[in-house]
Chain A
Amino acid sequence: MANHSTSTTKSKFLQHHFVDSDQQFDAAKMGMWIFLVTEVLFFGGLFAAYIVYRTWYPELFTMASEELNTIWGGVNTVVLIGSSLTVAMAIKSAQLNQKKNIAINLGITITLAAIFMVIKYFEWTHKFHLGIFPGKFYAFDGIDHPKANVFFSLYYLMTGLHGIHVLVGMGLMIWLLIRSLKGDFGSEYYSPIEMTGLYWHLVDIIWIFLFPLFYLID
């Protein structure tokens, strides 16, 4: 499973309770996958709520979806998929021991994530200007449906929770960037990059579901 070398010299990052770095790497990877399962279920509750309300008010969802800007949503999708590619390239660089490329790829990923968040910011503030607030603060009369607030409550909750995950991922990658500039990572030891990469792919996949469910249904 582990692509890195299985040399017998002990890495300085090997924790005391593991026998070798292979065991440490395998354990970390498995733990991360299990954690991702919990993330799927965490979002799963919101997706279930989405399914229920879409079945109840199908016409509302098609109407309200027109308020969302498909172009910018599409740009964000491309940006996020691109960032998944660059984070995968960072892992590959680590495996090939190209220490400089690790930092470059991480830097690009962080920039793309920031672009995503900036676009998201403009989307949200634009809606706030129109009076589209979540829940009881909803004050927009452009949609002729008594439950229009429900759609936007779900929209804000799901994209908001996703946005928090993007911010967490950015924080993690800034930490990785600093460590990679210190030269901590190479083909011997790169599990933090691999784990963050897995997390980042999940954040990407959740967006790939959110985008069509909210933007493309009209």
Chain B
Amino acid sequence: MDTAETNSTLKKIQVQRFKPESDPKETYMTEETGIWSWLTTVDHKKIGIMYLASITFFFFVGGLMALMIRTELWTPAKTFIEANTYNQLFTLHGSIMIFLFLVPSVPAALGNFILPLQLGAKDVAFPRLNLLSYYLYLTGAFIAIFAILNGGIDTGWTFYTPYSSTTGGAVTTMTFGIFVIGFSSILTGVNFITTIHKMRAPGMTWDKLPLFCWGLYATSIIQILATPVLAITLALVAMERILGIGIFDPALGGDPVLYQHFFWFYSHPAVYIMIVPGFGVVSEVITTFSRKHIFGYWAIAISSLSIAFIGFLVWGHHMFVSGQAALASMVFSFLTFLVGIPTGIKMFNWTATLYKGSIDLKSPLLYIFGFFFLFLVGGLTGIVLASIALDVHLHDTYYVVAHFHFVMVGGMVMAFLAGLHYWWPKITGKMYNEMMAKIACGIIFVGFNVTFLPQFVMGAQGMPRRYFNYIEQFQPFHQISTVGSYILGFGFVMVFFYLVKSLFRGEKAPANPWGSRALEWQVASPPPLHNFHHTPVIVNGPYDYHKPMEEFQLGLASSGNGHGESNVEVDSSDEEQIHAE
């Protein structure tokens, strides 16, 4: 490190070690208690927990719908619900899972809680805006529920015109609900980008930024660039229904393919909103449990950004059979293959991180291993679907359904569960039952594969998606899939129960149960109301496991202003209070 004489931009500051309290008396949960303080809180941790509670609720609602869909498909004809109810169920299953669970799952719930802690900040840049995001999310959700009760929607989650602009039901209300939720997502993105740029602790340069933050950064870029387009698109669908403006309706001189272009310009990048933060979780968990520096820090950080970038150029691959120009299809197909490159870079780097690591197979890492296998299958079948000729055959079959469930559930939900288990001690201050967590992970993994592997086979054989009736040759596949969905559902319920149980009966969690070097583990569990009693100072990268723990617990010795200095030279020799552990 340069000295102050050779580089005048360096500033000398004095630091000392702040050991996290092992049994904190005052935490964010014990200060400012009562229901009203929760509802009006601007604390990012409480907002994160409110998100977590909400998405858990919607996950189980959406999951229940999935189980009903699968049960209905037990027999080729009607099993227990009407065809119209079935249409509404799969629409709502998709809408709820995407807009109310997946999009906010890692960024808004875990990200809200962890991001400022990882940056060494007291809060996100705009705490009140953060609360507004949550209430917009909730308002949108209520509008959506109102739409479900008041007519229902049977368009599928994609709201394709002209069907969506002419069908009955509460499509206008539903699109308005999603419009509002979209603004929640946009404001979260604005907040996170500003937070990452402006709120980093002294010494936290871009090359010391934890990869979870890089993941959230890439996600936020997608959120701010793509979501406004969805908002205006859904507003146009609503206008089409109210005023008959005819932008998308061919009967009025409009173009339904234009709708698909608009919709997928958002919704394809949105797929990466749902997976890139999961990548961030993987990097955190894998380094912590292999006690090793991440292999290829910049490769992983930049590949998140490149996925965000390429993600904006591939929307046309949803429209290979929608009548877009053949040349456009070829270009989109080629660009789609490109997504495989940064994703592959990530997979190889993660695997290389494990190599010769001191691997501790705790449940978060087990979930990540599940992620590896399932996401690999999901990603590779994505390459298959990106090939135009194959896609023409596979388009709108169960193959597509299986593909995106492998990516979204096998990828994102597994990563989300890994992150939830990983940060659970930090969030709640309690340890869950490790054995139960491992068993549940196994059940979810098995249940997931039993549910969705048969769908690849029947999809390749021509079973179309969304159908209420099907021909008898597909019945064994559907039945295996249905049985698998029950196993999967049981696994999720099990996770819910042992996590809730840990709140009441769990052991007290130490500040750093996994021995991680990341900054969020250098405060008490659960953290104090304003995260840090001191201003943290960063001298090492978040994955420098070869450096001693005390170097990761430094803070300004005097309560001065250390923020905004990107180049600091730490002089800990004067006031050093470092002791060997």
Q: Which residues of A are at the interface with B, using a C-beta cutoff of 8 A?
A: 15-17, 19-20, 22-23, 26-28, 30-31, 34-35, 37-39, 41-46, 48-49, 52-53, 56, 134-137, 146-147, 149-150, 153-154, 157
Check if B228 sits within 8 Å of A38, measured CB to CB.
Answer: yes
**Contacts of B558-573 to chain A: CB distance below 8 A:** 561-564
Instruction: Say if the beta carbon of B247 comes within 8 Å of chain A.
Output: yes
Which applies to chain A's interface (DSSP): helix, strand, loop or mixed? helix
> What residues of chain A lie closer than 8 Å to B240, measured between beta carbons?
135
Chain B residue at minimal CB-CB distance from A25:
B198
Contact of B561 among A20, A35, A157 (CB under 8 A): A20
Which applies to chain B's interface (DSSP): helix, strand, loop or mixed? helix
> What residues of chain A lie closer than 8 Å to B232, measured between beta carbons?
42-46
Whether A37 contacts B225 in the complex (CB less than 8 A), given A19-B564, A135-B252, comes out as yes
> What residues of chain B lie closer than 8 Å to A19, measured between beta carbons?
535, 561-564
Check if A30 sits within 8 Å of B198, measured CB to CB.
Answer: yes
Check if A23 sits within 8 Å of B252, measured CB to CB.
Answer: no
Contact of A27 among B199, B227, B239, B262 (CB under 8 A): B199
Contact of A136 among B126, B226, B252 (CB under 8 A): B252
Chain B residue at minimal CB-CB distance from A40:
B228
Taking A26-B198, A27-B197, A41-B228 as known contacts, 11 extra A-B pairs with beta carbons closer than 8 A to each other, sorted by chain A number, are A16-B123, A16-B530, A27-B198, A30-B193, A38-B190, A42-B228, A43-B232, A134-B243, A134-B245, A135-B245, A149-B245
Q: Mark B217-239, 1 if CB is under 8 A from A, else 0.
A: 00000001111110111001001
Cα–Cα, bound, A166→B76 (Å):
56
> What residues of chain A lie closer than 8 Å to B225, measured between beta carbons?
37-38, 41
Check if A27 sits within 8 Å of B530, measured CB to CB.
Answer: no
Cα–Cα, bound, A53→B530 (Å):
53
Whether A34 contacts B193 in the complex (CB less than 8 A), given A20-B561, A20-B563, comes out as yes
Cα–Cα, bound, A154→B254 (Å):
12
Check if B190 sits within 8 Å of A31, measured CB to CB.
Answer: yes
Check if B198 sits within 8 Å of A23, measured CB to CB.
Answer: yes
In which size bucket is the chain B interface? 35 or more
Instruction: Say if the beta carbon of B323 comes within 8 Å of chain A.
Output: no
Cα–Cα, bound, A136→B240 (Å):
9
> What residues of chain A lie closer than 8 Å to B126, measured between beta carbons?
27-28, 31
Instruction: Say if the beta carbon of B186 comes within 8 Å of chain A.
Output: yes
Whether A31 contacts B125 in the complex (CB less than 8 A), given A52-B255, A135-B239, A149-B246, comes out as yes
Chain A residue at minimal CB-CB distance from B123:
A17
Instruction: Say if the beta carbon of B253 comes within 8 Å of chain A.
Output: yes
Tally of contacts, chain A with chain B, CB under 8 A? 127
> What residues of chain A lie closer than 8 Å to B197, measured between beta carbons?
27, 30
> What residues of chain B lie closer than 8 Å to A53, measured between beta carbons?
247
Check if A38 sits within 8 Å of B224, measured CB to CB.
Answer: yes
Check if A157 sits within 8 Å of B239, measured CB to CB.
Answer: yes
Cα–Cα, bound, A41→B182 (Å):
13
**Contacts of B514-560 to chain A: CB distance below 8 A:** 530, 535
Check if B246 sits within 8 Å of A27, measured CB to CB.
Answer: no
Check if B194 sits within 8 Å of A45, measured CB to CB.
Answer: no
> What residues of chain B lie closer than 8 Å to A27, measured between beta carbons?
125-126, 194-195, 197-199
> What residues of chain A lie closer than 8 Å to B227, measured between beta carbons?
38
Contact of A30 among B194, B231, B253 (CB under 8 A): B194
Instruction: Say if the beta carbon of B24 comes within 8 Å of chain A.
Output: no
A165 to chain B, nearest CB (A): 13
Chain B residue at minimal CB-CB distance from A22:
B564
> What residues of chain B lie closer than 8 Å to A34, measured between beta carbons?
189-190, 193-194, 224
Instruction: Say if the beta carbon of B244 comes within 8 Å of chain A.
Output: yes
> What residues of chain B lie closer than 8 Å to A52, measured between beta carbons?
255, 258
Instruction: Say if the beta carbon of B122 comes within 8 Å of chain A.
Output: yes
Chain A residue at minimal CB-CB distance from B127:
A17
Cα–Cα, bound, A135→B244 (Å):
5
Instruction: Say if the beta carbon of B343 comes within 8 Å of chain A.
Output: no
> What residues of chain A lie closer than 8 Å to B239, measured between beta carbons?
134-135, 153, 157
Check if B246 sits within 8 Å of A153, measured CB to CB.
Answer: yes
> What residues of chain B lie closer than 8 Å to A22, measured between beta carbons?
564
Scoring A31, A39, A43, A45 by chain B CB atoms within 10 A of each residue's CB, the highest score goes to: A45
Chain B residue at minimal CB-CB distance from A8:
B561
Chain B residue at minimal CB-CB distance from A136:
B244
